[in-house]
């Protein structure tokens, strides 16, 4: 497949893709296409905006093909309302070129049709996840996928499950709850997911015990930089000497902002929009907002730049970098972003429970 010339062309060919092979080829052309683009900090927001529209377009097209196949197989009955949702970086519009799957399904059907509906939804999840894999989204190692009954439930079941998570009896409860806060619909009846997210965030906002536990969960991931600005790299293993952008700073930043937004009851899903809302509502000062935005944009830039590096298939999801290969300015900005993230965590720590 020829490398597209511009973003509009990318989105156009996705909309008209007729097969999984075609979608896979489009996915693969994203790397050479991005390499032709100007990748800079200034262009980062625009790149992510298009890139995530492309991802959502490909997934949506794959799900249309999946649903057609379920209907052809005559597997059960399509629920009255069904929505395929994504979580993680996809939901936050922060996907780079290669990301693994994080998805789930929420549906609603009449009681008398329940068994038929469930058969349809289960088959849809199997085919959907498989189609995603075929077009270049590896399976989620943590099994956050619609094929896992934990992430595929009716709206009523979802509410019961999320309430169970909210009781926070295990560490995983908070982890799952935190993943669920990001849910964003990409296919089907979007209002189902919106309703569920509104209900969840209201629940989180009004229960101080949940906020307390969420706070505890996010603060347990320290930012690996010391008082003197030395960044801790991996000491052993195949990534020895390297720094993982995702687990070293990106996740901590995203989760801290997610916590602040959820505790304020915001429905926004992207980190940038969450920060903007926090600023508009006076929960972040202007200098703090500018500083956070600049730091986060730089982290997004670093991630997308790193995703274009040649690493081989088995390392396509890897976000490790050698710090000594960064320019002096980039290293300085990374350290600055890490220090800001640390400050962010510290300010969350100092908050009263659920403030």
Partner 1 sequence: MSEKWTFMMDSLWVVVAAVLVIGMQAGFALLEAGSTRMKNSGHVAGKQIVSFAIVSIAFWAFGFGLTFGDGNRFFGTSGWFLAESSKKTFASLDWANVPLSLKFLFQMAFAGVSLAIAWGGFAERAKLSVYFIFGTLFTVIIYPVIGHWVWGGGWLGSMGMQDFAGSTVVHLQGAIAALVATVLLGPRIGKFNKDRTPNLIPGHNQVYTVLGGLLLWVGWFGFNAGSTMSVGDGFFGYIALTTNLAAASGAIAAILTAKLLTGKADIPAMVNGVLAALVAITAACAFVEPWAAVVIGAVAGAFTFWTSVFFEKKGMDDPIFAFSVHGIAGMIGTISTGLFASPRLVEKAGVGKAGLFYGGGFHQLYVQTIGVLGAAIYVAAISFIILFLLKKTIGLRVTAEQEISGLDISEHGSYGYPEHLDPSLTKKADSF
Q: Which residues bind partner 1 (CB under 8 A)?
A: 222, 224, 226-228, 230, 232, 235-241
Q: Please name the residues in contact with 290: beta carbons below 8 A apart, sequence gap of 6 or more.
A: none
Alpha helix segments (H runs only) across the chain = 7-15, 20-36, 44-73, 88-91, 114-134, 155-167, 171-181, 190-206, 208-219, 245, 251-263, 271-280, 286-307, 328-350
Q: Which is nearer to partner 1, 16 or 228 (CB)?
A: 228
Q: Which is nearer to partner 1, 12 or 230 (CB)?
A: 230
Tokens 């996907």 belong to which residue? 95
- Cβ of residue 314: shortest distance to partner 1, in angstroms? 14
Q: Which is nearer to partner 1, 111 or 226 (CB)?
A: 226
Sign of the Cα torsion 47, 50, 55, 56 reads positive
- Cβ of residue 312: shortest distance to partner 1, in angstroms? 13
Tokens 């490398």 belong to which residue? 3
- Cβ of residue 295: shortest distance to partner 1, in angstroms? 20
Q: Which is nearer to partner 1, 274 or 342 (CB)?
A: 342
**Cα–Cα distance measured from residue 183 to residue 161, given in angstroms and rounded to the nearest whole number:** 15
Q: Which is nearer to partner 1, 232 or 349 (CB)?
A: 232
**Cα–Cα distance measured from residue 216 to residue 354, given in angstroms and rounded to the nearest whole number:** 12
- Cβ of residue 325: shortest distance to partner 1, in angstroms? 15
- Cβ of residue 253: shortest distance to partner 1, in angstroms? 17
Q: Which is nearer to partner 1, 112 or 235 (CB)?
A: 235
Alpha-carbon distance values, 330 to 172, 184, 337 (Å): 35, 32, 10
- Cβ of residue 118: shortest distance to partner 1, in angstroms? 43
335 close to 314: Cβ distance less than 8 angstroms: no
């Amino acid at each position: 497949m020829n490398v597209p010339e511009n973003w509009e062309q990318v989105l156009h060919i996705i909309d008209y893709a007729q097969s999984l092979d075609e979608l896979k080829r489009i996915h693969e052309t994203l790397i050479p296409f991005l390499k032709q683009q100007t990748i800079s900090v200034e262009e980062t927001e625009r790149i992510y905006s298009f890139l995530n529209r492309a991802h959502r377009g490909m997934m949506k097209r794959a799900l249309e093909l999946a649903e057609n196949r379920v209907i052809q197989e005559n597997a059960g009955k399509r629920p009255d309302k069904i929505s395929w949702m994504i979580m993680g970086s996809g939901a936050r519009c922060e996907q780079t070129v290669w990301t693994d799957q994080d998805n789930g399904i929420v549906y609603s059907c009449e009681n008398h049709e329940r068994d038929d509906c469930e058969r349809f939804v289960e088959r849809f999840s199997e085919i959907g996840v498989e189609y995603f894999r075929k077009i270049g989204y590896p399976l989620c190692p943590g099994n956050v996928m619609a094929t896992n009954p934990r992430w595929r439930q009716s709206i009523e079941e979802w509410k019961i499950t999320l309430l169970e998570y909210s009781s926070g009896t295990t560490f995983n409860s908070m982890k799952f709850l935190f993943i669920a806060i990001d849910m964003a619909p990409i296919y089907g009846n979007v209002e189902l997911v919106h309703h569920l997210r509104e209900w969840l965030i209201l629940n989180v906002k009004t229960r101080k015990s949940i906020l307390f536990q969420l706070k505890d969960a996010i603060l347990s991931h320290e930012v690996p930089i010391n008082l003197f600005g030395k960044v801790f790299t991996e000491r052993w293993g195949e990534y020895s000497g390297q720094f993982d952008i995702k687990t070293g700073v990106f996740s901590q930043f995203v989760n801290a902002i997610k916590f602040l937004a959820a505790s304020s009851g915001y429905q926004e899903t992207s980190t940038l929009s969450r920060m903007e809302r926090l600023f508009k509502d006076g929960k972040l000062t202007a200098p703090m907002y500018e500083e956070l935005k600049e730091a986060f944009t730089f982290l997004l830039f670093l991630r997308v730049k790193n995703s274009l590096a040649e690493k081989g298939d088995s390392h396509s999801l890897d976000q490790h970098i050698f710090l000594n290969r960064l320019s002096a300015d980039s290293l300085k900005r990374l350290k600055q972003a890490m220090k800001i993230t640390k400050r962010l965590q510290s300010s969350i720590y100092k908050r009263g429970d659920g403030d």
